[in-house]
A and B are shown apart, each in its own frame.
Chain A
Amino acid sequence: MLLCVENLHVHYGAIHALKGISFSVDRGEIVTLIGANGAGKSTVLRTISGLIRPTDGTMSYWAPGAGGTASAGNTDRTGGARGAHRADAADGAAGRQVNLCSLPAHKLVDLGISQVPEGRRIFPNLTVIDNLELGAYLRRDKAEIKKDFDTVFELFPRLKERRLQAAGTLSGGEQQMLAMGRGLMSRPNLLLLDEPSMGLAPLLVKEIFQVIRRINQSGTAILLVEQNASMALGVARRAYVLETGSIALEGSASELAKDPRVQAAYLGSA
């Protein structure tokens, strides 16, 4: 178990945005939250990240074992495989359970949670490299950071070409790649992806989702919020359908993709 959310309630003033939702993410798996606009998907991620405070419910996260923090540059964290693979606490080793509800947003990166926000939100006046560096803000292990630059550039060769360009001049697709690369620079255990396909041309969406698969293959768990239900269900192991703040359906991704209700509402068959 990596992340466990139970009975989460969020209010925007009088508006009851999340009405007691529960879901979980296990180590190394891709879980997706799909649903229509306004259903509350982004609210979920923003609440986990600490940008919004929940009004009720619990969010528990199992941080990696003692000493395995993002900023320590610890030996725990240098897995042999490409990308990051944290020392696993699942086999009973000491991992600590953290309550995310009261944690300020900037503490999450330290715990190994990284979010790629909706609309990318890269820093337009900074270069590609600067943006990526900011992703590694808390880290001090210079050599490893350099390795991670290489990893990101390998995942996204286009970023390497443009590494000294101001991020604001990149196209939408390239900005999305940059945002994801930036999110990876902190070597997260859990990557929160908020609508990565938004505003992207179909071919790029395919690329992005291939990258998502690769990231997951190197051990990072992913909580993916998506409007593009078909792509999301194609890459995830498990899925939840969010409708006006409540979970309407849940199950394995392949089951849900075949579910006629899901097909009608989110897969476009009239």
Chain B
Amino acid sequence: MTEAKAVDAKRAGGKAVDTTRLARVAVTLGGLAAGYVLVVGLHRAEILINDYYLQILIWVGINVIMGVSLNLINGFTGQFSLGHAGFMAIGAYVAASMTKLMGMPFALSLAAGGIAAAAGGLVVGIPTLRLAGDYLAIATLGFGEIIRVIILNLDVVGGPRGLPGIPAHTTFLWVYVIAAATVVVVRNLIWSRQGRALVAIREDETAAETMGVDTTRSKIMAFVVGAFFAGVAGGLYAHKITFIDPSQFDFMKSIEALVIIVLGGLGSITGTVMAAFVVTFLPEILRAFADYRMIIYSLMLILMMLYRPRGLMGTAEFSFRQLGLGDRRPAPDKGGQRAGRSDGPPPVLETRGVCMDFGGLRAVSDFSMTLRQGELVGLIGPNGAGKTTVFNMLTGLAEATSGRVCFMGEDITRRRPSEINDMGVARTFQNIRLFSNLSVLDNVRIAFRGERLYSMTEALLRAGRYATQEEQIYGKSMEFLRLFGLDDRASEIAGKLPYGAQRRLEMARALATKPKLLLLDEPAAGMNPQETQELLELIRWIHERFDLTVLLIEHDMSLVMKLCQRIIVLDYGVTIADGAPAEIVKNRRVIEAYLGEEAV
């Protein structure tokens, strides 16, 4: 294709994307407007929707906001938070205080409530997001209760007697608009690079961290955004019910939101919306069994987890694709790909006297090594010799008990993995750590590196650099996939790929972070001789093509011998040899420790 034609094709592709985007915005706004008109129209005409049902729809809306905001934290980021009611309470009380006690306009009060709740999310998130799993759940539960008790002791807002007489500002319009906005904003967040980082954290936090995601920042961000919307929901709640007291925001309230997202499917916004309808209408449906309502409710919860834990929608979503307005992707740029090349003195990985102690056990003793730019070095030794521990120390997943690790002249001994990855170190894992439930393409996209990537505001508003950069990310990621023979499987779920393809994907993902140093942990494990040969050629090729320095842990001696220019041998945490392959095979100590007498 000539230069001119290529440029034209690109422009044409760009235009196609623009009209699709316009169409989607139109459909969204139109659909929302139509929905509103329909409901209000039916109500006015007194068909189907009477005053009573309109009120219920308002509750549905509030539940949608609570559910979607909680799903952002629990479902998409995988952080099990059980204190969502606390944020709702903050929002409710702040908003109510502002309108009732200070006479502020409703919109401002709602915003203030949301912001106050967001601040609460920050205060709660920073300490608790260090914890994981069960501990995080308990801690958030605790904070939710603490918030409630603090309010209980604030006489200025009524303490245990509560706050009555809140003006009834909440109308269907307010709730509808805000609920719709919540859905759009959260959706835009999820389907953006920031959102991909969140989902990566859910899938495998360690892998995400080593692919450059600052997991702490991302988790806190999700928490704060979720808390904000919960606060707004609280404000709407307060101005609907007109009387609030702390007992309304107890653990049960958090559970209600949890039930909604579990029923709808953790990780599905569509599901949450549907579930909000079901859960809000359920008490009405079960009115006949009023007495047994809660019993049936809890039974449903148990049965659901036993038989359909993925909920109504699992992780599926209603998407524009179903309306024929899916992303039209331009053909990916077939140009060459160059990884970051450093200017200046040849980069070096240097470790000096690095030791690792686990309790009383010295796993690695005095590991000193120097890697020069462009080297391809193998690290071998029996199982348990400390090789993966060395890798963990080089990538920030473990901190050396003593010694120094320097990358490109900078001390990285105590840096966190995402920083180290940013600086140019990438790795693969002994037991493959892909984001198994995500697509092949997403696995690579998450790792994507670039200059001045678009900000969160641009993501939320789908403005600015968002569209062009998303195209770029897509194009470059597809390129990577093609280099590794995976482009025809781009939309497949990573966890379902055959073993060899998964290993290749892990390498592709690591390379997408534009490293200067690549650490491969047993890449040939589980491969037959044929696959191993292909792997060998692949590693050779990427070593040259991407101008990399490579350090490789392997047990497959044939691979190591053919591939590596230099071999370091580790035994029982101690370096027993460091030299060219030919020397290593003849080294007495190495033979005894690893290769075996027969090899001589």
> Which A residues lie at the B interface, using CB under 8 A?
13-15, 36-39, 168-169, 171-172, 195, 197-202, 227-231, 233, 243-244, 257, 263-265, 267-270
Contacts and interface: CB of A to CB of B under 8 A. Distances in A.
Residue among A168, A233, A269 with the highest chain B CB neighbour number at 10 A: A269
A226 to B, nearest CB: 11
B526 A270 contact: no
A37 B526 contact: yes
A244 B382 contact: no
Given A270-B557, A270-B585, A230 B383 contact: no
B598 A200 contact: no
Given A201-B572, A201-B593, A14 B496 contact: yes
A233 B599 CA distance: 13
A258 B589 CA distance: 23
Contacts of B499: 15
B384 A15 contact: no
Contacts of A267: 595-596, 598-599
A268 B595 contact: yes
B599 A268 contact: yes
Contacts of A230: 595-599
Interface in B399-456: none
B522 interface: yes
Contact of A227 (B383, B495, B561, B598): B383
Contacts of A38: 522, 525-527
A199 B382 contact: yes
B527 A244 contact: yes
Nearest to B522: A37
Contacts, number: 91
Nearest to B594: A268
A195 B383 contact: yes
A171 B561 CA distance: 32
B359 to A, nearest CB: 8
B360 A37 contact: no
Given A199-B385, A231-B596, A263-B598, A244 B526 contact: yes
Interface string B281-299: 0000000000000000000
A171 B497 CA distance: 39
Interface in B459-517: 495-499
| Chain A CB within 10 Å, residue with most, of B385, B526, B527, B581 | B526
Contacts of A229: 596
B599 A199 contact: no
Contacts of B557: 265, 268, 270
A13 B494 CA distance: 12
For the complex of A and B, the 3 pairs showing the least CB-CB separation, nearest first, are A199-B384, A38-B526, A230-B596
Q: Which one of B359, B499, B556, B571 has the highest number of Cβ atoms from chain A below 10 Å of its Cβ?
A: B499
A137 B599 CA distance: 43
B525 A36 contact: yes
Contacts of A201: 571-572, 593
